[in-house]
Amino acid sequence: MMREDVFEVAGVTKETPPVVLTVAGFDPSGGAGVVADVKTITAFGCFAAAAVTSLTYQNTTGVFGASHQTAEAVRAQVIPVVEDFKVAGAKTGMLPTREIIEEVARLFRETELPAPVVDPVVRSTSGYDLIDDAALDSLKRELLPLARVVTPNIPEAERITGMSIRDRGAMAEAARAIRGMGARAVLVKGGHLEGRALDVLDEEGEVTYFDAERVVTTSTHGTGCTLAAAIASCLARGHNVVDSVALAKRYVTEAIRTAPGLGRGHGPVNHSAVASF
């Protein structure tokens, strides 16, 4: 008797892939946002579903503007997915307005969506502000308490906490402060510091440091989106948070190392890098 989570194609039996939902902005150049998320989720053997929060106008050299969706439009995208699929993992990215943040938080509270990986997108790699203060306050109040993992880089962690972060001790302090806002785990990414690539995870008070060789490159467009989507995919496949972060970090490092060299600015990574899961 065939199990419900298995299907057969041309005599080959395969497990049904876990569904991972991303709620994020659209980057037409393909390096960040939902396009990067979909490629990453697929690389980890999961099935990607997506809801778009904003249509951005960007390439590797910068962000030139955006047309935000309404909160109602975001809900209208998500509800049919959760009514049809059992979603095993979720990730949020660019949530540009207070109304969208509050609606996304409401969706996670009211449906069977799993606790999300929240990438608190504040500013693009090129320096374009993607969220205002009112939206940030709503993010802290409404969404962070629902998060399984929050993944700020150092500028994002500084803006959320009001702290100055210059070393690993301050990274750990910031992670603890953000976890105090309600998140179960916080990963502060150290890519903006010099030296080796150091990330600090605080999961319910247990601190883990992830240290890796830094790849010196300008191909860093969408790395935050990619890491968060990879973590969400690993969680959907049943890994714990520490292992999910380790696997995701390894994938992103390889994706950066083998970047295709596209564009005239901060180029995209190689989302076709082989993922270990």
Which one is catalytic: 56, 125, 151, 220?
Answer: 220
Q: Do 182 and 145 meet the contact criterion of CB atoms below 8 Å apart?
A: yes
Residue 42 lies in a domain: yes
Residue by residue, what is the 3-state secondary structure of 155-220? HHHHHHHCCCCCCHHHHHHHHHHHHCCCCCEEEEECCCCCCCEEEEEEECCEEEEEEECCCCCCCC
Residue 270 lies in a domain: no
Q: What is the rounded CA–CA span in Å between residue 75 and residue 77? A: 5
Residue 211 lies in a domain: yes
Task: For the chain, give the longest Cα–Cα distance.
Answer: 59
Give the pLDDT confidence of 155-175 residue by residue, as tens digits: 999 999 999 999 999 999 999
Which one is catalytic: 30, 93, 224, 267?
Answer: 224
pLDDT given at position 14: 66
Give the pLDDT confidence of 23-55 residue by residue, as tens digits: 999 999 999 999 999 999 999 999 999 999 999
Report which of 158, 160, 155 is spatially closest to residue 143, judged by C-alpha positions.
160
Residue 49 bridge partners (DSSP) = 21
Which one is catalytic: 33, 53, 60, 225?
Answer: 225
**CATH code of the domain in which 12 resides:** 3.40.1190.20
91 is catalytic: no
Within 10 Å of residue 243's Cβ, how many Cβ atoms? 14
Residues of the domain holding 30:
6-257
User: Which pair of structure tokens corresponds to residue 73?
Assistant: 């439009």
Residue 273 lies in a domain: no
Residue 268 lies in a domain: no
Which one is catalytic: 39, 91, 140, 189?
Answer: 189
State whether the Cα torsion 155-135-117-276 is positive or negative. negative
Which one is catalytic: 60, 92, 223, 226?
Answer: 223
Residue 269 lies in a domain: no
What value does the mean pLDDT take over residues 124-144? 83
182 is catalytic: no
pLDDT band at 208 (very low <50, low <70, confident <90, very high): very high
Residue for token digits 């785990």?
Answer: 185
222 is catalytic: yes
Report which of 119, 111, 167, 154 is spatially closest to residue 139, judged by C-alpha positions.
119
Which one is catalytic: 25, 93, 222, 267?
Answer: 222
User: Which pair of structure tokens corresponds to residue 85?
Assistant: 């699929």
Residue 84 lies in a domain: yes
Structural domains counted in the chain:
1
What value does the mean pLDDT take over residues 6-13? 43
Report which of 169, 269, 171, 157 is spatially closest to residue 223, judged by C-alpha positions.
269
220 is catalytic: yes
Report which of 109, 93, 101 is spatially closest to residue 33, judged by C-alpha positions.
93
pLDDT band at 147 (very low <50, low <70, confident <90, very high): very high
pLDDT given at position 5: 45
Residue 267 lies in a domain: no
